Amino acid sequence: MALTINGLSKTYPNGVQALKNLSLTIGNNMFGLLGPNGAGKSTLMRTVATLQDPDAGSITLDGIDVLKQKNEVRKVLGYLPQEFGVYPKMSAADMLLHLAVLKGIASAGERKEMVDALLQQTNLWEARKKSLSTYSGGMKQRFGIAQALLANPKLIIVDEPTAGLDPAERNRFLNLLSSIGRDVTVILSTHIVDDVRELCPRMAIIASGQVLQEGSPNDALAALQGKIWSKVVKSDDELKAIETQMNVISTHLVSGLHEIRVYSESNPGDGFRCVDSGLEDVYFLNLSRHTLN
């Protein structure tokens, strides 16, 4: 399975340029699409999912022209958007059976067998007869994956799937995605760095509709090894002084004090210590470089 995106551009009527000549190649397994809110991730996912057209560019999926052969794409696509609607009074089982009909699964026996298997796979079997309005956020997301898996898709797109989930539900959902990603191509679009770090052997970081970095998270981490330095500062004035002198890529509070992380090829001195690089460092460094450009 190969998804090739070439020169994709999209500007909305309000003047927002969501995609700017964006190109990506996505192969089998789990692929992470990482970027801040407003980066163009959802626009890209909706375009790949045949829900909107770009102004320019092309997309092919295993020889299928995604922009011209939308019905062919939809036969092999599973999609979990950031917001998806359901009939709240229907049970999960009835809703999945209804969606299976819309997916073109003609045999009643085949539909039931598939829906039962998906309810088991997503750990919703015990709650299959409950109305969807009673589901927690995590259960709704697992139901979303169940509907995306109907008819055995080859490509699954999930857009911001763990936003708003508590830690336990997030772990359940990520474990579910991991098990699915062994058999099909899954594109995980998110602004949560840990989701990509935990799941994806390949990723791309995008901002302002452009690809900033593409490749393996492990390779990206290795490239920063020995170049990330940390220090706790005790005053806002000290923080501002360092920000004017060094490449500060992130700050966060520790016991009320600012811990800052800077990128430097060599020891910046002044009490900094070298620390292990994390995917957040890769992410924030790319964003800071993009902002400077």
- Residue 264 gets which letter from DSSP? -
**Which domains can be identified in the chain, with CATH numbers?**
3-221 (3.40.50.300), 226-275 (no CATH)
pLDDT, tens digit, for every residue of 13-71? 999 999 999 999 998 789 999 999 899 999 999 999 999 999 999 999 999 999 999 99
Give the residue among 279, 59, 263 at the shortest CA–CA distance from 191: 279
Neighbours of 126 (CB within 10 A): 9
pLDDT in tens, 210-256: 999 999 999 999 999 999 999 999 888 888 999 899 999 999 888 88
Measured in whole angstroms, the distance separating CA 45 from the mean position of its chain's CA atoms is 10
Cβ atoms of 9 and 20 closer than 8 Å = yes
Of 163, 178, 197, 158, nearest to 282 by C-alpha is 197
AA identity, residue 184: V
Mutual angle of helices 137-148 and 108-121, in 10-degree steps: 140
278 has a pLDDT exceeding 90: yes
Give the angle 206-208-211 at the CA atoms, nearest 5°.
Answer: 30
CA 251, distance to chain mean position in Å, is 24
pLDDT exceeds 80 at position 86: no
Q: Residues 114-151: pLDDT tens digits?
A: 999 999 999 999 999 999 999 998 898 899 999 999 98
Q: What are the residue ranges of helices labelled H in the chain? A: 41-48, 70-75, 92-102, 108-121, 137-148, 167-180, 193-199, 217-224, 236-245, 279-292
pTM of the model as a whole: 0.88
270: nearest Cα among 224, 229, 237, 226: 229
pLDDT mean over 175-191: 85
The pLDDT value given to residue 106: 86
